[in-house]
Homo-oligomer: A and B are copies of this chain.
Amino acid sequence: MNENTDGIRRKRASSRALDDMDRKLLGVLAEDATISYADLGERVGLSPPAAHERVKRLRRSGAIRKVAALIDPEASGKPMLAFVHVDTTGWGKTPVLLAIEEHPEVEEIHSVAGDTCMLLKVRTESTHALEGLLARLYDTPGVKATRSYVVLSTYLERPVQPGVTAEWPALVKNAQAGVAAFNNRPG
């Protein structure tokens, strides 16, 4: 066997699975990326160069997409948040819908399965601005209807977290099923 024993594409050096140390590093950097490598290394139990090496690898591999300043919505003048469900006539309306990403108010555009076609996350200055955005949507050919869910309070909003829940209590019927599911995981 010219391959490792624990999977098909392990050890390919540029896209390896994250180990515990990587997740610890990501956990710290996801919270504060301005930390020095000395402090970072101390937090995870690594020397500064070792921490730097692993972070560099995480960046190259794409595990760290980018390091960015997260802007306060209210400070940027957009206190209103809403999720907009868009129903279109037929499929393939995505290209024309993507035009609205020109507006900095639009933060997410997803195609979803369910009783709606597209889902938008938008952040606007006011109700008027939301109305303007909806008007812009209805001007788009193929847009049949929209339903807006205006956020009243945000209790949690954070970026992608490095951790995963190891075990979902209600789903583990027996130990064997749990182990089988674990071994079949895609990562």
Contacts and interface: CB of A to CB of B under 8 A. Distances in A.
B113 A150 contact: yes
A49 interface: no
A106 B156 contact: yes
Main secondary structure of the interface of A (DSSP, over half): mixed
Contact of A69 (B29, B105, B139): B29
A37 B109 CA distance: 33
- Could you say which interface size class chain A belongs to? 35 or more
A6 B168 CA distance: 56
Contacts of A109: 154-157
Interface string A108-131: 111111111001000101101101
Contact of A34 (B67, B79, B116, B153): B67
A64 interface: yes
A65 B61 contact: no
Interface in A66-105: 66-73, 75-79, 81, 83, 94, 98, 101, 103-105
B65 A72 contact: yes
A26 B71 contact: yes
A187 B116 CA distance: 34
Given A62-B75, A108-B154, A168-B133, A114 B68 contact: no
A1 interface: no
30 contacts: A18-B77, A23-B76, A30-B69, A32-B68, A33-B33, A33-B68, A33-B69, A64-B70, A65-B70, A65-B71, A71-B162, A76-B160, A76-B162, A76-B163, A81-B110, A94-B153, A98-B155, A104-B163, A105-B164, A106-B156, A108-B154, A109-B156, A110-B157, A113-B149, A128-B171, A128-B181, A132-B169, A133-B168, A135-B168, A136-B168
